Amino acid sequence: MVKRFFTDLDRYYFHHGVHYELYNKMGAHVVEEDGVRGVHFVLWAPSARAVCVVSDGNGWTPWRDVMEKVDDCIWELFVPGMCEGVKYKYLIVRADGSEVMKADPYAYASELRPANASVVADLSKYEWGDGKWREQKKQENFLEKPMAVYEVHLGSWKKDWDKWWDEDKFLDYRRLAHELCDYVKWMGYTHIEVMGICEYPFDGSWGYQVTGYFSPTARYGRPEDFMYFVDYMHQNGIGVILDWVPAHFPKDEFGLDWFDGTPLYEYADPLRAEYPQWGTKAFDLGKPEVSNFLIASAFFWVNVYHVDGLRADAVAAMLYNSFGRSEWRPNKYGTDFNMESFEFFRHLNTVLRQRTSAIIIAEDSSIVSGVTAPAKNDGLGFGLKWDMGWMNDTIRYYNEDPVFRRYKHHLMTGTFDYVFLENYILVLSHDEVVHGKGSMFNKMAGSHQDKFGALKTAYTMMMGHPGKKLLFMGQDFGQEAEWDYKGSLQWYLCDDPGHRDILECYRRLLNLYTTHAVLYNDAGKKNTFEWINSGDYMRNLFSFIRRNPWNYNDALVFVINFAPVDRDPIEIGVPVSGEYKKIFSTYADEEEYSLTAVKEECDGRPYRLVVKLRPYESLIFSVPWHESTEEEKEEERKTRRRIKKEHEDAISDNEHVPKVPAPVEKPARAGRKKAAAATADAQAAPAEDAAPPAEAPKKSVKVAKAVKSRKAPAKKE
């Protein structure tokens, strides 16, 4: 019997959608077989008539290295003597007899665009030095840790102007590792979120039309260079999150589109196959092999490249069959939910959380509830969700002339009505500074001079709002131009006193955020935020308290002025007596002072402070320390136990992991008839631990309630 690289067990788990390390078998792998070193190729192409490997190793000669179809869908070939660095493609004779050259869907490396061949790579050589970082992350609950993310597009963050001959002038991964790390570490960010790492052919897509789900883009170097990039970040205390696109793929001929002459990776149904607004194909998540492809991609980046998380792009597009489509096909319950996507995310998030310390963040504009709830509670299981509502509402408020902001006051207060329903991350992302929307600096209403103060106060409000934080590159120093993926940030503005002041202000805010647990340890804890006065709309004023759930020790008082005039005096209610120390002002002066609380009711609280505010000034005060009572100490213990249990329950959730029965071994020839009969009987009887249905149960009341709330229908008990 011929020994297969892709074994029967590999095939079994692949067809059940649970081969989480599929990247170790599919694609091209440098191996040694019977003492001969070479490359083993494995390809999934069930409808292909014939497949061969063409490469610069065989002079791109067709049918010299012909693959063997080892079953009804898997093709294999071992090429002795082939080594790392060889460029290759698959020449596929498709179902209709036509021939097409395809890149390897599982390739570890790719050519630099506009070339698009895959490249043989050996990823086992790099020696990692981030063991301490990874071990530390295993012990942490990320919800209880600060997360201040710097979203960055590597190609336009900074240019290498010494490359006068190179139109792109990209910095490479290794130089980026040092320069970018120095910057984010100095600023006080905890993570970077990197756009456009999975290989893609078109620069104008920013990396959101992916052709290489297992290949870091060659624009900035080789795979081992990107490993160095992540490793260096970790050794300097910076987490790395990648943008990841599980919704769709482009129609480039060398990619996944009609891979073997049939709609293999995409839906066959024309009403579901495409996203018309993007001109891309939608992944058919109803196929276990396609679902497995994406889940294996997620595990690949976490396990092989040590990334700390993935930001899943366009989640809303995946959840609704009607998204961006004038004509759409309802599911069997008559709704527009894409039931395969719900099960896909539940499966993905559950197994990734169980087996790694990584998180997946949902870029989701839908109104589906429970996006960050555990799968066992009919949620999707994401770690965090982008707060798109907060982003849109606050930007609308900032756009408004201060004279008329009183009529938009609700935009700033309404976000607090739902902020604790999900685990949110507040985002001011790349999407908001392109296509004529203007930079964050120019979103601020008023004169050019007003914009400096307004932006600093906007960032203070962001830091005081519950949720993790994300800011796109360049906005921390008030870049004035929109983002241009072909260009570079306006770093020269940092020499301007006004822009330097914005940068220093945001740096001080990051330091406050990362050193005060009341600002970051708030997920799901409603009593960590209290309004002092949310109704002072005539003066564009906001005041609130950030606190821990059991008392006011370590609490902070925020007083925020969104008007370009002095506010003097301002009376605000505070919870306890004593000296309230000013620890932050959006003005750059370092004057330190304290205010004494007066025993007089104000804003429904027993004490009051009298505060003076300058134009567009925000102030933060620390609340005086008081000895905790026994009741408060007990409440603290109860809260910590509850949080620990919720974290453990989320990790141990198995409900939406497919229950795959053990494969039946092939019986010896003499006993095959008897074994076949026994196998048929076993398959006829449903297993007790059979996998849950892919779609919701036929309970009309439950489905109706779910549709009303836009929540995923619950799994049948």
Residue where a domain terminates, one of 583, 602, 631:
631
Per-residue confidence (pLDDT) for residue 217, from 0 to 100:
98
Distance CA 4, CA 227 (A): 30
Tens digit of each residue's pLDDT (9 = 90 or more) over 480-518: 999 999 999 999 999 999 999 999 999 999 999 999 999
Distance CA 267, CA 246 (A): 14
406 within domain boundaries: yes
Q: What is the 3-state secondary structure (H, E, C) of 520-574?
A: HCCCCCHHHEEEEECCCHHHCEEEEEECCCCCCCCCEEEEEECCCCCEEEEEEEE
Distance CA 219, CA 681 (A): 56
Is 313 noted as a catalytic residue in this protein?
yes
Using the predicted structure, report yes or no on whether residue 717 has a pLDDT greater than 70: no
693 within domain boundaries: no
Q: Are residues 266 and 366 in the same domain?
A: yes
504 within domain boundaries: yes
Q: Which residues of 361-386 are buried (b: 16+ CB within 10 A; e: fewer)?
A: bbbbbbebbbbbbbbbebbbbbbbbb
59 within domain boundaries: yes
Q: What is the CATH number of the domain that holds 567?
A: 2.60.40.1180
Q: What is the CATH number of the domain that holds 46?
A: 2.60.40.10
Cα distances (Å, whole numbers) of residue 427 to 149, 463, 505, 714: 9, 11, 18, 30
Residues 6+ apart with CB under 8 A from 312: 244, 245, 246, 345, 360, 361, 362, 363, 382
Distance CA 588, CA 529 (A): 27
Nearest C-alpha neighbor of 227 from the set 236, 216, 241, 238 = 216
Q: Are residues 317 and 453 in the same domain?
A: yes
Side-chain half-sphere of 567: how many Cα atoms within 13 Å?
A: 23
Per-residue confidence (pLDDT) for residue 406, from 0 to 100:
95
Domain count, the chain: 3
713 within domain boundaries: no
User: Predicted confidence band at 709 (pLDDT cuts at 50, 70, 90)?
Assistant: very low
User: Predicted confidence band at 7 (pLDDT cuts at 50, 70, 90)?
Assistant: very high
Q: Which of 308, 313, 400, 695 is an active site residue?
A: 313
Distance CA 178, CA 233 (A): 8
pTM, two decimal places: 0.89
User: Predicted confidence band at 54 (pLDDT cuts at 50, 70, 90)?
Assistant: very high
Tens digit of each residue's pLDDT (9 = 90 or more) over 218-271: 999 999 999 999 999 999 999 999 999 999 999 999 999 999 999 999 999 999
314 within domain boundaries: yes
Cβ–Cβ < 8 Å for 715, 693: yes
Helix runs in 236-338, H state only: 288-303, 315-319
Distance CA 294, CA 112 (A): 23
Tens digit of each residue's pLDDT (9 = 90 or more) over 309-347: 999 999 999 999 999 898 999 988 999 999 999 999 999
Region 274-300: mean pLDDT is: 97
Q: Are residues 79 and 100 in the same domain?
A: yes
Q: Which of 122, 130, 363, 400 is an active site residue?
A: 363
Residue where a domain terminates, one of 520, 545, 564:
520
Cα distances (Å, whole numbers) of residue 111 to 89, 262, 297: 11, 26, 19
User: Who has greater pLDDT, 646 or 282?
Assistant: 282
User: Who has greater pLDDT, 635 or 228?
Assistant: 228
Instruction: Assign 428 to helix, strand or coil.
Output: strand
Q: Are residues 185 and 100 in the same domain?
A: no
Per-residue confidence (pLDDT) for residue 2, from 0 to 100:
55
Q: What is the CATH number of the domain that holds 164?
A: 3.20.20.80
Using the predicted structure, report yes or no on whether residue 708 has a pLDDT greater than 70: no
Using the predicted structure, report yes or no on whether residue 656 has a pLDDT greater than 70: no
Q: Are residues 266 and 188 in the same domain?
A: yes
Q: Which residues of 393-417 are buried (b: 16+ CB within 10 A; e: fewer)?
A: bbbebbebebeebeebbebbbebbe
Region 55-63: mean pLDDT is: 94
Q: Are residues 184 and 81 in the same domain?
A: no
Tens digit of each residue's pLDDT (9 = 90 or more) over 460-489: 999 999 999 999 999 999 999 999 999 999
Side-chain half-sphere of 239: how many Cα atoms within 13 Å?
A: 21
Whether residue 569 has a cis bond before it, omega within 30° of 0: yes
Distance CA 224, CA 290 (A): 27
Q: Are residues 582 and 564 in the same domain?
A: yes
Give residue 150's Cα distance to chain centre.
Answer: 13
- Quote the domain boundaries for residue 155: 144-520
Q: Are residues 391 and 540 in the same domain?
A: no
Q: Are residues 531 and 504 in the same domain?
A: no
Distance CA 392, CA 437 (A): 12
Using the predicted structure, report yes or no on whether residue 53 has a pLDDT greater than 60: yes
Tokens of 714: 């619950």
> Mean pLDDT lowest for which of 131-135, 375-379, 651-655, 662-666?
662-666
Mark residue 381 as left, alpha or beta (left: phi above 0; alpha: psi -120 to 50; beta: remaining): left
Per-residue confidence (pLDDT) for residue 660, from 0 to 100:
66
Tokens of 138: 């295993």
DSSP code of 396?
H
Q: Are residues 209 and 227 in the same domain?
A: yes
Q: Are residues 417 and 296 in the same domain?
A: yes
Q: Are residues 382 and 397 in the same domain?
A: yes
Region 160-187: mean pLDDT is: 95
